[in-house]
Structure 1
Amino acid sequence: MLPTKTLHLPAFFLLLASSLPAAAAPVIDGADTAWVMTTTALVLFMTLPGLALFYGGLVRVRNVLSVLMQCFAICALASLLWVICGYSLAFSEGNAFIGGLDKLFFAGVGVSSVAGTIPEPVFALFQMTFAVITPALIIGGFAERFRFATLLVFTAAWLLLVYVPVTHWVWGGGWLGQLGLLDFAGGTVVHVTAGVAALVAAIVVGPRHGFQKTAMAPHNLTMTVSGAGMLWVGWFGFNGGSALAANGQAGMAMLVTHLSAAAGCLTWMAAEWIRFGKPSVLGIVTGMVAGLGTITPASGYVGPGGAIIIGILAGVVCFTATLWVERSLRIDDSLDVFPVHGVGGIIGTLLAGVFASTHLGPFSGQGFAAGIESIVAQVGIQALGVASVFVYTGVLTWIILKVLQATMGLRVAVENEQVGLDIFEHEERGYDL
């Protein structure tokens, strides 16, 4: 009789592991991929031509080309920087503050690499469009007076020193994401950073010549309304695409985005009507943008009832903030970037912690918070996220601008400002009829 063998425990587990099926490899979903590719195009459409036309119509006729030029240049510059190092620092594995260098020049981002259920190149491109529009929003804070050469250097420095780290904090595995901050599509990452940067820039650069002494009316509201319509449509990609899947969350994000925009524009219109006696075209489109920016961080977590409340608050609070910044603080945030995007991003980020609750009846969200205690705790996290991003963005933006002010100069001379940036910077005219 042959002697029996004893199967040692480690060997048993190795044998058991070898008999189990291998972990399933990530699978690309065709529907999700097609959806995110479509929304990527919509988000780029928000900058070019949407934001370019929206801002271009708001400035005076002698500066329209300068705004269009700035939007185009920022789009190109931010795209290349995103490929070179921005994406890697934002989304590759690093520490709580910043990502690593594993994906410089999109290393490893090939046709076979997967992010969730979509190809990683599609995810990286989708995030690139966010990196494009965020610094483009800032130019509204110093429109009609900023040097073009300085703008290019500022954009590069700000993108890498402010936008990229904050993106990693929230979406790339950084400390705010680990805390549980709810920011679905960029309340802190996009709107707070852009709004605060625009406010700091307006203060450091100083007001336009003749601010609050001469009329500085928009030169072409038809252009502005056209751009506003493009932003409204494009925002479906901005928020709906942030689900990164063709699913119910994406659909709900689109619904609440639309409702908040509608509530925001009508509320702003009503507030303006009550205060000034007449509703304006500029007011209704600005209210729309306020509603869109405010719902952005909450769009993946709230329901229709909460979205309408958020839009109404956006219209009232952002309208009031616009008057406060210009008339009380006397800050020339030329195109109201901070009152609309900064204040809207703050409101929306805080309210995401409220309306995500399932205990609010018809105003309930999608179950990311429950009960009063959970709401209070979540709002605390939201407030910490807002405060951290606000302070970090403000300090770094101030440092960047002060360095550029001492080396390159920030603004054109008064006589060149009066001639207009179209002629002085680019030797071209927006209209030659």
Structure 2
Amino acid sequence: MKIQYWNALSAAQKKQFLQRNTMENNTLNAQVLEIIESVKQKGDEALFQYTQKFDKASLMQLAVTEQELSEAYNQVDEASLAAIRCSIERITAYNRSLLPENGFFDSQDGIICERQIRPINAVGLYIPGGTAPLVSTVMMLSVPASIAGCEQRILCTPPRPDGSIEPSILVAATECGIQTIYKIGGAQAIAAMSYGTQTIPAVDKIFGPGNQWVTKAKQLCAQNAGISIDMPAGPSELLIIADDTANPDFVAADLLSQAEHDVCAQVILVTPDESVAEKVKECLYQQLKALSRYQIAAKSIENSKAIIVGSANEAFEVSNLYAPEHLSIQLPQPEQYGSNVKNAGTVFMGEWAAEALGDYNTGSNHVLPTAGFTRSLSGLSVLDFMKWVSFQYVSQEGLLAIGKHAAQLARLEALSAHENAVNIRLQKVKPCVN
């Protein structure tokens, strides 16, 4: 962990210090585009080839069978099944509380504007594979999709080398009502759900986190395939603001909980006290030794940062500049700092709010924008699986109320057909409107 005094840096150096470690865009673009084009051209054949190349699995078919779904339950213990069901219950309750009502506005002059909610018809859910089976992500995506009422819900996740899928992922998907699952991962899965193949149908919107290749594939397919994506959600990020009242073991544990996700994970401590950074650094290396994913977490921690600031307010300036996926506030009375947070995907308030709880079962979603996109995007919820359709009702009275102004605006914009569409109606309005 590198310790750095914030005010010793120039403005340019501050920006550089907070830079994410990502692959050169041109290199990444070229590699991902090659995969996308191959899937577009060769369909299932490309998917089988990439699965062999990247996942070391030789598949006979892409779809998970009913037998595989049924047998998965025999491989998941009762404690794990109870934990899955607990998470589903809490995610369901929270997302139901977010469901919006239809909007209705009557201006009382012959014009009514109405907004009605509709589910997105076909959605693709991507569950990363990598070095950990992200069972929780299955629920974070599937539950909101179900509550929204999306008619077609397909799930893609990479297989293990023997061609199987982690049983807990299949069980979680089944518990969430997902029955269509494909053994495919990476950029190739995103391409398949965007353009469709002989087996995998194209969808309207793709959801789910992933590595740099998955994130780039989502962005490129959103530009070119006419599909939507939830957000760029790449390698995990956590920024913790803590002072000398914080428990250094708690701070270190939270940093490691994100560091173990990926060698590219970004973890940052911001504190007004260098002694806090030194204590946390010591705790990091003590706890690191006991981790099952030591190599991954150690590499991430090697690239981690501790930033020494002059005050709590300056700490939030740093955080807002970085715009983290996860923000943890481990200060006394953390609620008083809520208004200081401008850019963050989700915020953990106080020392007892372990970031890992939000990953699993507080009820809020752990699929969040990364790479600074929290400046303009929000975390996932049931609302992302819905869209609004607006209805506009105009009577003769309403036409008389606004028609001449609409025609004038059309003239200002030199759009004569617009003007004509209004005036042709004004000429036909009955002389007396009740």
* Greater per-residue strand proportion: 2
Same fold (TM over 0.5): no
- Normalising by structure 1, we get a TM-score of 0.25
**Between Structure 1 and Structure 2, which shows a larger proportion of helix residues?**
1
Q: State the TM-score, normalized to the length of structure 2.
A: 0.25
Bigger RCO of structures 1 and 2 (CA < 8 A, at least 6 apart): 1
> Based on CA coordinates, which of the two structures has the bigger radius of gyration?
2
